[in-house]
């Protein structure tokens, strides 16, 4: 039976996560919309309502499993926003902008929430924050951390992550064709890196310093 402390921890982590993954996906859809692809708009996926983007496993079950098993970090994802890259005006630039949009928004959110967290801690009573400020501080802390995790993870240039599309656009045509052949095996590569611990080490060594800097710690 989950204790009240674990339930509170889950809520203060799941709320920032839902908004972070929602903003990530909406950014992809909006960028595609600006470049002429209306797929996400027609599917009603440009909404900031997290319910429209929920993935039953990635948005609820996976985060709950991590929290209730005592994981020090929280991770999750939303349903990918549908994008038809063939509809984009200026396909090369459009693909780059659409692919990098989610990461860009996550980094921007991390910076803003990090500054807000520092402001809350600055105005707090030195003897300790009140319950309301303490909850706000926790929400901002997790929102900063989760956005940094999403940005760093999605920049890894392994399909189907955003970083793979960004790298593909930047490569010369011949190298791009060779690189895109690993697409079907991307998930396998990610699983191997995750199981070996290499992915966790890579993310921690980047996420930790960035998050501490943004939180002013």
Q: How many domains does the chain have?
A: 1
For the cut 80, the answer to whether the pLDDT of residue 7 exceeds it is no
Give residue 1's pLDDT. 60
Q: Which of 23, 25, 114, 211 is catalytic?
A: 25
Residue 217 binned pLDDT confidence (cut-offs 50, 70, 90)? confident
pLDDT at position 8 = 77
Spatial separation of the C-alpha atoms in residues 72 and 9, rounded to whole Å: 11
Mean model confidence pLDDT for the chain? 89
The reported pLDDT for the residue numbered 82 is 95
Whole-prediction pTM: 0.91
DSSP per-residue string spanning 73-114: S-----PPPP--GGG-SSHHHHHHHHHHHHHHHHHHHHHHHH
Q: What is the pLDDT of residues 133-146, one digit of tens each?
A: 888 999 999 999 99
Burial of 94 (0-12, 13-18, 19+ CB in 10 A): buried
Residue 180 pLDDT more than 60? yes
- Is residue 174 among the annotated active site residues? no
pLDDT tens digits, one per residue of 106-120: 999 999 999 999 999
pLDDT in tens, 186-216: 888 888 887 888 877 888 899 999 999 999 9
Range of the structural domain that residue 191 is part of: 4-214
What tens digit of pLDDT does each residue of 63-93 get?
Answer: 888 777 776 666 778 899 999 999 999 999 9
- First-to-final CA distance of the chain: 34
Residue 15: alpha-carbon gap to chain centroid = 13
**Percent of the chain surpassing pLDDT 90:** 60
- 42-63 burial string, b = 16+ CB within 10 Å, else e? eeebbeeebebbbbeebbeebb
């Amino acid at each position: 039976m989950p204790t009240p402390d674990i339930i509170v921890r889950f809520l203060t982590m799941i709320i920032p996560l839902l908004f972070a993954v929602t903003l990530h996906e909406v950014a992809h859809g909006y960028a595609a919309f600006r470049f002429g692809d209306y797929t996400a708009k027609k599917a009603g996926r440009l909404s900031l309502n997290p319910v429209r983007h929920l993935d039953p496993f990635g948005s609820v079950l996976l985060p709950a499993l991590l929290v209730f098993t005592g994981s020090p970090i929280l991770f999750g994802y939303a349903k990918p926003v549908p994008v038809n890259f063939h509809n984009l005006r200026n396909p090369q630039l459009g693909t780059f902008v659409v692919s990098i949009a989610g990461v860009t928004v996550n980094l921007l959110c991390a910076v803003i929430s990090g500054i807000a967290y520092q402001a809350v801690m600055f105005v707090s009573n030195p003897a300790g924050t009140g319950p309301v400020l303490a909850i706000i501080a926790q929400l901002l802390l997790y929102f900063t951390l989760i956005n940094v995790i999403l940005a760093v993870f999605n920049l890894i240039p392994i399909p189907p992550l955003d970083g793979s599309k960004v790298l593909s656009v930047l490569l010369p045509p011949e190298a791009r064709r060779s690189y895109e052949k690993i697409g079907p095996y991307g998930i396998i590569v990610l699983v191997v890196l995750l199981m070996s611990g290499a992915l966790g080490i890579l993310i921690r060594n980047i996420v930790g310093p960035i998050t501490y800097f943004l939180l002013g710690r």
